[in-house]
Amino acid sequence: MKKVLIVEDHFLTSTGLRILMNEIVEGAEIYESVSFEGAIQACIALEIDLIILDIDIPGGTGAEMITRFKSIRPQVKILVCTGFDESEYAIEYIAAGAYGFASKSLERPQMRLAVETVLNDKRYVSETVQQQLLEGIFQRKGEASMSSKVPLLSVREEEVLKLILEGKWRKEIASILNINPNTVSTYKARILEKMKVNSIFELAQKLPLKSN
């Protein structure tokens, strides 16, 4: 039986999240806290599986909250659910260890997807944040080349990866490099295999990120 902690100081929002959790997680034990310190005490007392966290809560300490929760419950999954601008805050919290970052403005089906994704041990961010992650994936120092970050890749694989990270689609990459779209897919599969990840998003998490 999963234990879910909702950290939210707005009654209507926490009520809506509780209803949603009851729909998604059958038999879930749902707990609530209106402050960061209260949430910490709940984590100490209970083996929490999932935390739904509003970052604008009494006593909140920014992305450091993720670290604190993880220090108490290393395996806990944290989904940030906030009204703050995701383009400004999401990468910082994901980099700190949150499993997902969702806006309170999400429609019900998207919020459900976010929760289910995190519960299935996968990461959730919006398409906008995914693009930010891809654009900021390499934190270069001086004139350091991409090959210094991913030395296992061939020159052509580096070219393909660079274009993927720029947000280019398969057919665009094929046109730019003058190769067959199926060949692009082959290169992508090789890149993921060499980097020991299952998706470009996982690769974004594995490599250094730039945050604002």
Give long-range contacts, CB 8 A cutoff, 24+ apart: 181-187. Answer: 184/160, 187/156, 187/157, 187/160
Tally of CB atoms within 10 A around 11: 10
In percent, how much of the chain has pLDDT > 70? Answer: 83
Which two three-digit tokens encode residue 43? 């984590």
Write out pLDDT tens, residues 48-64: 999 999 999 999 989 99
Instruction: Say which DSSP state 8 is in.
Output: -
pTM for this model (two decimals) = 0.66
Sorted by where each starts, the structural domains of the chain and their CATH numbers stand as 3-133 (3.40.50.2300), 138-206 (1.10.10.10)
Write out pLDDT tens, residues 23-41: 888 888 999 999 999 999 9
